[in-house]
Chains A and B, each alone.
Chain A
Amino acid sequence: MNPHHFDIDTLTFTAKEIRGDILRMLEKAGSGHPGGSLGMADIFTALYFNILNHSPEDPLWPERDRVVLSNGHICPVLYATLARAGYFDLEELKTLRVLGSRLQGHPSRLDLPGIETSAASLGQGLSISVGMALAARLDKEKHKIFALLSDGELQEGSSWEAANAAAKWQLDNLIAVVDRNNIQIDGNTEDIFPLEPLRDKFEAFNWIVLEINGNDMEQILQVFESALKMKGRPICIIAHTTPGKGISFMENKYEWHGIAPSRIEMMEGLAELRLEEVAYERN
């Protein structure tokens, strides 16, 4: 069971709150990755507040669904989501990237409950997810493995070793979500090192491929609900997201992949989110 099971309106508002958290965390830390974090806020919200079986009070509950974040650099969205879902206090978000913090610059499993695997170096999370899916099958456990990947990390050959392996074992308990936001550090993915035709590639690797607008909450919920019922092959959801989503001056700008907003930029971003006004209107 999902402990929250929010409806679409509440999910949409929660995603906005998480975007606000991300801006505040990154401004305070002075470094980090806003682009992908903001772009994936809707998908993280949908997972933790509607789709996943999980238990914030018991992060290692054996029956929980596993979320493996492979592109660890978007951890601000993971931390903010975990805090809002009840894994730890929201206050702790202020400690991102600070000496002694559990909120390391890239996720550290041994430091923070709720992190399934430490991650940073790209192209590793899908393989780890394959291992988890094999273990679940061996133990006849019903939980699912959600592997969250970036598009840029599909340039790593090891990502495709893992894609091959998932197909070999027909792991239908594995759902990969590719954040297809088209940016990476040095520019747009198709200029740097083209990934297209991405759908055809996963299909050629014997995966079921679904495509959505990864910033449309209704589409997100629908795609997860149908993916959870699919059998026989691993499932790849190509989620087309807008990097920097919700903050107009960050949207679709690869320059915002990995720099923190200044105080003024944060204030501008928060103003654009209109969190207080929306909260007031919701009441």
Chain B
Amino acid sequence: MKGIRAEMKLAPNLFKNPELKATRAGFGSAMTALGESDENVVALCADLSGSLKLGDFISKWPDRFFQSGVAEQNMVNMAVGLALSGKIPFATSFGVFMPMRTLDQIRISVCYNNANVKLAASHTGITVGPDGATHQVLEDIAVMRVLPKMKVIVPADAIETEKATISAAKIDGPVYLRFGRQNAPVYTTKDTPFEIGKINKLRDGKDVAIVACGVMVYISLLAAEELSKNGIEASVLNCHTIKPIDTEALIKAAKECGAVVTAEEHQKSGGLGSAVAEVLVESENVPMKIIGIEDRFGESGESDELMEKYGLTSTNIVKAVKNVLKRK
């Protein structure tokens, strides 16, 4: 495993049939752990508690779970009321319904109040699959990261989801957590470091820095393996926290590699790539390429078919790297 940094403690079977699990699975186990450790943690859901893996939490602490029905606006503001009373509420739904339907509530009541509300959205991105465009939120990172006081975290696998959820409960103020529906490789371990706002550099390479979040991190590692066969060594940065973004690590990577490619399961506009570009445009003038959805809605199909069709593949990352290197 050339270039993989030992201190990241990634799974030894990283490239050999890693376990598959949806990132949201880590959310359910984290909520159970938080339920045990802090009686102020409460959960809310808008008729999707099974999808959010809250079953264990609900059966253990039924009085700390608030089923708010198909009424997301009310759910978010109930969470605000709970937070302003000292609770640590996790409001949960699909990303298309929360945050997308509830932007006003999140802007004024969550963020302007600096309420200690955690928003946990599952079924984000194109990997939602057969449900089609209505259910494939591709704009949430952009919308959430422009809100003052909001933090935005996109975990890379189920284990990182668990850490991100527990870390979110431990800091004061609004946090948006973004999970996926579909099974994805689990390749970090309990020993892999995780700190909100700190990029994890998973692979060392001097030629190009690939910065990714969510399911695109693993795909970036696959791309780096492929590039290595062509004599191109890529650094791979897991930028799980989109806001506050790790400016220092990004500038360092841009300086060392001289070229940057970003990859996200989200619109190209306003997401991870934009956040990275905002940092680099003010410091390191390096060629850059953003991989994401090209200003369009998704459609029905299987996850892998959609990832292929919309260009979220290791092949496409390899191509983007080769192009960006020509501009060096």
Which chain B residues border A136 with CB–CB below 8 Å? Answer: 85
Which chain B residues border A168 with CB–CB below 8 Å? Answer: 69
Which chain B residues border A118 with CB–CB below 8 Å? Answer: 108-109, 112-113
Which chain A residues border B84 with CB–CB below 8 Å? Answer: 109, 116-117, 128, 131-132
State whether A132 touches B108 (Cβ < 8 A).
no
State whether B108 touches A134 (Cβ < 8 A).
no
Query: How far is A168 from B67 in the complex, measured between Cα atoms in Å?
Result: 10
Q: Say how far B88's CB is from chain A's closest CB, in angstroms.
A: 11
Chain B contacts to A: CB under 8 angstroms: 42, 63-64, 66, 68-69, 71, 73-74, 76-87, 89, 104-105, 108-109, 112-114
Q: Say how far A27's CB is from chain B's closest CB, in angstroms.
A: 28
Which chain A residues border B71 with CB–CB below 8 Å? Answer: 161, 164-165
Q: Given A121-B104, A124-B109, A134 and B82 touching (CB < 8 A)? A: yes
Of B74, B105, B113, the contact of A109 (CB 8 Å cutoff): B113
Which chain B residues border A108 with CB–CB below 8 Å? Answer: 112
Complex: chain B residue closest to A110, CB-CB: B114
Q: Given A127-B77, A129-B81, A161-B73, A117 and B113 touching (CB < 8 A)? A: yes
Which chain B residues border A139 with CB–CB below 8 Å? Answer: 85-86
Q: Given A118-B109, A128-B80, A158 and B86 touching (CB < 8 A)? A: no
State whether B81 touches A138 (Cβ < 8 A).
no
List 4 tightest A-B contacts by C-beta distance, closest first: A131-B81, A127-B77, A135-B85, A161-B74
Of A68, A130, A138, the contact of B78 (CB 8 Å cutoff): A130
Interface check A51, CB cutoff 8 A: no
Q: Given A132-B82, A135-B85, A136-B85, A121 and B77 touching (CB < 8 A)? A: no
State whether A132 touches B85 (Cβ < 8 A).
yes
Helix, strand, loop or mixed for chain B's interface?
A: helix
Kindly supply a per-residue 1/0 record for chain A positions 13-36, scoring 1 wherever the CB is within 8 Å of any chain B CB and 0 otherwise: 000000000000000000000000
Which chain A residues border B73 with CB–CB below 8 Å? Answer: 123, 127, 157-158, 161
Query: How far is A110 from B85 in the complex, measured between Cα atoms in Å?
Result: 15
Q: Say how far A246's CB is from chain B's closest CB, in angstroms.
A: 31
Interface check A119, CB cutoff 8 A: yes
Query: How far is A121 from B102 in the complex, measured between Cα atoms in Å?
Result: 12
Q: Say how far A108's CB is from chain B's closest CB, in angstroms.
A: 7
Which chain A residues border B108 with CB–CB below 8 Å? Answer: 118-121, 124
Query: How far is A57 from B80 in the complex, measured between Cα atoms in Å?
Result: 25
Chain A contacts to B: CB under 8 angstroms: 68, 108-110, 116-121, 123-124, 127-136, 138-139, 157-158, 161-162, 164-165, 168
Which chain B residues border A109 with CB–CB below 8 Å? Answer: 84, 112-113
Which chain A residues border B80 with CB–CB below 8 Å? Answer: 117, 127-128, 131
Which chain B residues border A120 with CB–CB below 8 Å? Answer: 108
For the A-B complex, the count of residue pairs with Cβ-Cβ distances under 8 Å equals 98
Which chain B residues border A135 with CB–CB below 8 Å? Answer: 81-82, 85-87
Which chain A residues border B83 with CB–CB below 8 Å? Answer: 131
Which chain B residues border A68 with CB–CB below 8 Å? Answer: 81
Which chain A residues border B64 with CB–CB below 8 Å? Answer: 138
Of A123, A129, A131, A162, the contact of B79 (CB 8 Å cutoff): A131
Of A110, A119, A123, A130, the contact of B81 (CB 8 Å cutoff): A130
Q: Say how far B73's CB is from chain A's closest CB, in angstroms.
A: 4
Which chain A residues border B69 with CB–CB below 8 Å? Answer: 164-165, 168
28 residue pairs from A and B, CB less than 8 Å apart = A68-B81, A109-B84, A116-B84, A117-B84, A117-B109, A118-B109, A118-B113, A123-B73, A124-B104, A127-B105, A130-B78, A131-B77, A131-B83, A131-B85, A131-B89, A132-B82, A134-B78, A134-B81, A134-B82, A135-B82, A138-B42, A138-B64, A139-B86, A157-B73, A158-B73, A161-B71, A162-B74, A162-B78
Query: How far is A145 from B327 in the complex, measured between Cα atoms in Å?
Result: 62
Which chain B residues border A138 with CB–CB below 8 Å? Answer: 42, 63-64, 87
Given contacts A128-B109, A131-B79, 14 further A-B contacts (CB under 8 A): A109-B113, A110-B112, A124-B109, A127-B80, A130-B74, A131-B81, A131-B84, A132-B82, A134-B78, A134-B82, A165-B69, A165-B74, A165-B78, A168-B69
State whether B77 touches A128 (Cβ < 8 A).
yes
Complex: chain A residue closest to B105, CB-CB: A124
Query: How far is A109 from B69 in the complex, measured between Cα atoms in Å?
Result: 29
Q: Say how far B227's CB is from chain A's closest CB, in angstroms.
A: 48
Query: How far is A118 from B113 in the complex, measured between Cα atoms in Å?
Result: 6
Q: Say how far B123's CB is from chain A's closest CB, in angstroms.
A: 22
State whether A128 touches B81 (Cβ < 8 A).
yes
Query: How far is A108 from B108 in the complex, measured between Cα atoms in Å?
Result: 10
Complex: chain A residue closest to B86, CB-CB: A135
Interface hub of A110, A128, A158, A165 (most chain B Cβ within 10 A): A128
Which chain B residues border A161 with CB–CB below 8 Å? Answer: 71, 73-74
Query: How far is A161 from B68 in the complex, measured between Cα atoms in Å?
Result: 9
Complex: chain A residue closest to B83, CB-CB: A131
Which chain A residues border B74 with CB–CB below 8 Å? Answer: 127, 130, 158, 161-162, 164-165
State whether B81 touches A132 (Cβ < 8 A).
yes
Complex: chain B residue closest to A122, CB-CB: B104
